[in-house]
Amino acid sequence: MIRRNIGNEAGARSDGVMIVSIIFITAFTYIALTTDPVYTGIGVGDRAPDLNGQIYDGTVWVDFELGEQFNDTWSEGEPGTYYLVEFMDTNCGICVSAAEKKFTPQEQAAWLGDNPQRPMPEGVSVEFLAVSISLWDESVSGKSYGRTVVEDFREAYSHNFPYMDLQDNSHQDDWGNFGTPTYFLIDPSGIIQYTNLETPGYDFRDALDDIIPRGA
C-alpha cells in the first residue's frame, strides 16, 4: 500500500497559494504606485466621460466615439488634437445666438481644417463637436426634434463641424443634467481643461486662445 504524505502535500499547496498571493499583491501595489488615477467627471482636471452616438458631417450619419479620439499617454508639448465639445439644443435661443455669432465662418477658419488661421505648433489641431440634446419634450408647442432638424440647423449656420445626435439625452448617465449651451475644451489625453460650468463669464473663444499652444 502506498501511503500519501498528506501533511507535505497540504504544505506544498499552502506554499503555492502564498506565492501566488504575494505575486498578486506585489503586482497590485506596483500598479497602484506607478499609476496616476484621474477621476472621470465633468470638472476641469477630470477625464471626460465618453460620448457614443452618430454624427452628421454634412453628408451622412456615421458612428462616433469621443473616447477613441484621445491618447492616454499624451503629454503637454506633444502633437495632438484638442476637442471643443458644445452641448446644445436646436430649440434653445442662446444656442441659436451662439451658432450665429460665436461659431462664425471666421471663428471656424481660425481653428479648423488643414490650414487654420490661428498659428499652432506642428501636429497640434482643434476639432469642434456639437452635441444635440433635448431640453424639452417634443410634445411642447413650438419645439421640434429629429435628425432632419439637426441637419437643417447645421446648414442654416454654415457649420463645417460635425453634430452628434443625443436627443434621447443618453449622455446624462455619465455627464449629468445641465442646461445649454455648455462647453468643454478637452486636451489630447482626454482631460477637461475648460468648461463654462465653472467659469460662466469666461468665453470658450478666449479659453481656446489661452489654452491651445501657439505656434510661430
What is residue 138's predicted lDDT score, i.e. its pLDDT? 83
Smallest CA-to-CA distance from 168 within 195, 147, 182 is with 147
**The predicted structure's pLDDT at residue 30:** 47
Whether residues 16 and 97 fall in one domain: no
Residue segments in the chain with a per-residue pLDDT below the cut of 50: 28-34
Give the amino acid at 200.
P
Write out pLDDT tens, residues 192-216: 999 999 999 999 999 999 999 999 8
Same domain, yes or no: 25 and 125: no
**Do 165 and 104 lie in a common domain?**
yes
User: Do 73 and 159 fall into the same domain?
Assistant: yes
82 and 189 inside one domain? yes
Question: Average per-residue pLDDT in the chain?
Answer: 89
pLDDT confidence of residue 216: 80
Count of structural domains within the chain: 2
CA atoms within 13 A on the CB side of 135: 17
Instruction: Name the residue range of residue 29's domain.
Output: 1-35
Same domain, 101 and 164: yes
Residue 45 lies in a domain: no
Same domain? 134 vs 76: yes
Is 29 in the same domain as 117? Answer: no
For residues 90 and 193, state if they share a domain: yes
- Which pLDDT value is given to residue 38? 80
Residue 40 within any structural domain of the chain = no
Q: In 3D, which of 83, 172, 189, 63 has the Cα closest to residue 130?
A: 83
Return the pLDDT at 31: 43
